[in-house]
Amino acid sequence: MRRKIVVGGAILLVLGALLFVYGFFSPPREALVDDTDTIPSGYYLGYSFEVPFGMSVHSEYTTSHEVEFCVLDSHNFELFEAESDFDEIYYFLGKSQSHTFHAPKDDIFYVILSNYGDNDVSASVRVSAEVSWARLIYFGGIGLGAIGFIGLIAGLILKPKMVETPSKMLDTMKLHGRMKISELASRYKTTEADVELAVLKLKSKGEPIQFDRETREVIFEKEE
């Protein structure tokens, strides 16, 4: 019984971990932006999208020349447009990059590509967000993992019921002499494996008891 609990707990723990990793880091996604455009020198290309707190958003771009790429929330986008100091969720300078973030709040977010070079830049931009039901995957993974962890710990610390109370079985066997192992397991609401463990423990204490594997009987050898 303990072994089944431990194995079952370990399986649920691993399954929960896999679901969490998949749901949190690589969830199913839907496209928000899939665009190709040209950015004139001195201008920027921007895309906005509204997402709730915690949602995973993935963005990637490729350009013909180096650009400044940044991800902003609505407040910092207003500062950006006002040419004031602002803080980016993410910033990168280059011709190609990808980035994933989890929305820190319910808000409208912006992906900005700024061309401060002397040449026009052709740009390809893709933005995707996890589908609305994706959170069920990693929350389900957390739940399964928690159940598996509890089961694993319980299986490791629980002792077989029959080994804890061999004296009860000894009294029964003194009275009956011999009994089917299945009857003993049913009587004490445990497994046949636990009954065998109890027999071994009693034998180690010098009790005249044994288990006959052919007849599946536990036998107490009464003194004449």
151-166, pLDDT tens digit by residue? 667 666 665 554 455 6
Same domain membership, residue 88 and residue 109: yes
- Based on the fold, state whether residues 96 and 124 are members of the same structural domain: yes
Distance between CA 191 and CA 187 in Å, rounded?
Answer: 10
Query: Is the entire prediction scored with pTM above 0.75?
Result: no
pLDDT at position 163 is: 46
Whether the CB-CB separation of 65 and 19 falls below 8 Å is answered with no
**R_g over Cα of the chain:** 33
User: Is the domain of 98 the same as that of 172?
Assistant: no
Q: Copy the structure tokens of residue 176.
A: 């009956």
Least confident of 6-20, 91-105, 117-131, 208-222: 6-20
- Same domain (yes/no): 98, 63: yes
- Whichever domain contains 204, its CATH number is 1.10.10.10
Q: What is the domain count for the chain?
A: 3
Q: What is the chain's mean pLDDT, rounded? A: 81
Same-domain check for residues 110 and 153: no
DSSP, collapsed to helix, strand or coil, labels residue 50 as strand
Is 212 or 122 the better-scoring residue by pLDDT? 122
| One domain for residues 149 and 167 | no
Please give the single-letter amino acid code of residue 64. S
Q: Is 108 strand, coil or helix?
A: strand
* Phi-psi group of 54: left, alpha or beta (phi > 0 → left; psi -120 to 50 → alpha; rest → beta): left
Residue 16 sits in the same domain as residue 33: no
The answer to whether residues 57 and 114 belong to one domain is yes
Q: What is the pLDDT of residue 108?
A: 95
pLDDT digits over 31-77, tens only? 889 999 999 999 999 999 998 888 889 999 999 999 999 999 999 99
Share of the chain above pLDDT 70, in %: 71
Q: In terms of domains, do 66 and 121 share one?
A: yes
Which run of H or of E encompasses 129?
Answer: strand 121-130
For residue 118, the model assigns a pLDDT of 92
The verdict on 78 and 97 lying in the same domain is yes
Least confident of 8-17, 91-100, 124-133: 8-17
Same domain membership, residue 170 and residue 153: no
| Amino acid letter, residue 28 | P
CATH of the domain at 118: 2.60.120.680
For residue 11, CA distances in Å to 1, 2, 93, 131, 135 come to 15, 14, 44, 27, 21
Residues 121, 169 within the same domain: no
3-state helix, strand, coil in the chain (%, to 5): 40, 35, 25
Structural domain boundaries enclosing 186:
161-220
